[in-house]
A and B are shown apart, each in its own frame.
Chain A
């Protein structure tokens, strides 16, 4: 009896998505298209570059990174951040972009 109840409850749980939406407007999964994938890559590249710049600034402030190493590294990193932001801005008018100003850096402070 208990086993039958358990089985019934499990079947109910499994069938729930179909019971809640017997005839949905759309039953397809949201798959990222090529433009969205590119945008995701660029968002990741932007966050990666910003995080790297932020870490470099802090490590330089603490003295973990010497002045010499800092001067060598900061230029290319800033260019990388700028390139990532530009790439996102270039995407701004494309259909994949749903929100204006998404290319704005998040967490871009360096302290």
Chain B
């Protein structure tokens, strides 16, 4: 079977090279059939990669340890779900998944857009093919998942921390995000190469960017929740280089999703938008390099490997080609419109872009500084949490405020007087919220108080927008209030879906502020019967329990929990000892209060043979709003993603009037 896998990947590489060469030739010579042939080659590359993926999946499920990859990442005792997740749990398998998603996205994006943007798609195909050639080359020649060996009796198993349900979804979602950013990149570069710098590349890629951005966002949140429940250090985001690797392209894509509106509405920022797309894609490659090269120490990173130099070379080529083509096409991208006033929606979006980019670059500097310091001084100097927290506050808090201001200002220009009228209620609500919180003691953390106040402001603007819009739709003839509400959203899905996403960011901000600025911590070493008090909670250590599962021995300390004299039941925290992997993991105990969103978080840091246990306990107010934000985020993204029939008709009309849909 391994021969079939290897052959299928060779076929993928050959098809990708053909799509690249034939695609360039077709575009330069204007050959229609050759262009279609190159497009079919991308589709065929997806099919052959799918065959290779099926071979690897079958080997994993059959526990075929003659595959080196299967033996290294699984064992006989590993539950089936985690055996499947081993597909992306190791370097080679995850690269294969990457290639599968890449070829799938490439074939789909080309198929969906070739009827109305055929002259543009002709140049998109070779760009996609070039990226595919690189990844196909990696899995064929550098990190093959189909290397074989004499089969050992059992595999080495999976790292215990990866044996978590979140690992079934977190990595694939991140890959969807990373790879999805190839679509806007390919269309942007294709538009520049073809000289078709009209609006079509934006329209073609907007939804793909939104899909990639949503997947990256949800993937990161799932990763944060995985870290929270599995890694067992009491937090959810550690500014780890690999976590940052996913955050940076997400921030660049966020900036693009906002600035693209300025280009659509005003025809401005055309160079800036192309730059943001290039930046997002380059950062996704850089993130992949960080995760896979072994240059950084991270719980999320793969082990040291030989693919680092290849990635660095590919990033260098990508950046050089992108910049060269952009410089060559600059005259085509010059905008005729100008910013009319610093008090306008486009100006607010521009400030938003600058802050997002500043935050992104600050994080990038934090990531590369240890690498640079090691290269220059021979010693890696790591920038700690305070560095990142400073920039998160410096750029993140104004961003939060702008999220409320931007959508309520007029395009082109707004007067100060009308701004005062527009924002009087949200401002009053925010100030009242801030004052009440101050009175309740929230002044112990100024950034936390500011975050709450700004969040109240943004929430008020969102509610106001929905309320006013619904009332207007009712006045325009909607039969009922719910009808008016849904009609409002249906008629402008991007705008109101965007507001729902903003609501998710507000929940996220409140959750982060609450759980990080106003949390409580307690530590104690307890014998059975002894009690530890943290915040309003009293935890009494009752006993130690040991049990055996299929692949681990579980040791659990049982604690009874009381709050304000009321019995809240029992909580378990402890450790798992994995037999095959010879590793021990922390298994934290979490009690969530659904009403307040607060968590009681217990870590059994050390369990002694005499039954004494060292506990570390956190009380994290509002932390569950972070996970709720994920659901709201997905809802908002889905609303914004939903196809708009009127826009489709308008695009079809344009294409038809230019004769772009008449031939094959």
Contacts and interface: CB of A to CB of B under 8 A. Distances in A.
Contacts of A73: 410-413
A31 B3 contact: no
Given A17-B33, A40-B198, A99 B657 contact: yes
Contacts, number: 159
Interface string B2-32: 0110011001000100100000001100111
A52 B263 CA distance: 12
A64 B26 contact: no
B15 A52 contact: no
Contacts of B8: 3, 6
Contacts of A61: 472, 475-476
Nearest to B5: A3
B596 to A, nearest CB: 34
B658 A62 contact: no
Nearest to A47: B650
A106 B657 CA distance: 13
A50 B663 CA distance: 30
Interface string B472-506: 10011000000000000000000000000000000
Contacts of A102: 653, 657
A24 to B, nearest CB: 7
A17 B40 contact: yes
Interface string A96-108: 1111001000110
Question: Main secondary structure on chain B at its contact with chain A?
Answer: helix
A43 B200 CA distance: 12
A106 B653 contact: yes
Contact of A62 (B18, B26, B33, B469): B469
B421 A28 contact: no
Contacts of A13: 40-41, 43-44, 47
A107 B653 CA distance: 12
B15 A10 contact: yes
B49 to A, nearest CB: 11
A47 B203 CA distance: 13
Interface of B: 3-4, 7-8, 11, 15, 18, 26-27, 30-37, 40-41, 43-45, 47-48, 51, 118-119, 122, 196, 198-199, 264-267, 408, 410-415, 417-418, 421-422, 465, 468-469, 471-472, 475-476, 646, 649-650, 653-654, 656-660, 662-663
Given A17-B37, A47-B654, 8 more contacts: A3-B4, A6-B11, A10-B45, A56-B411, A61-B475, A69-B414, A97-B657, A107-B650
Instruction: Give the top 6 A-B pairs by smallest Cβ distance, nearest first.
Output: A3-B7, A66-B418, A62-B468, A17-B36, A10-B44, A17-B33
6 contacts: A15-B37, A17-B36, A24-B33, A48-B267, A51-B265, A69-B414
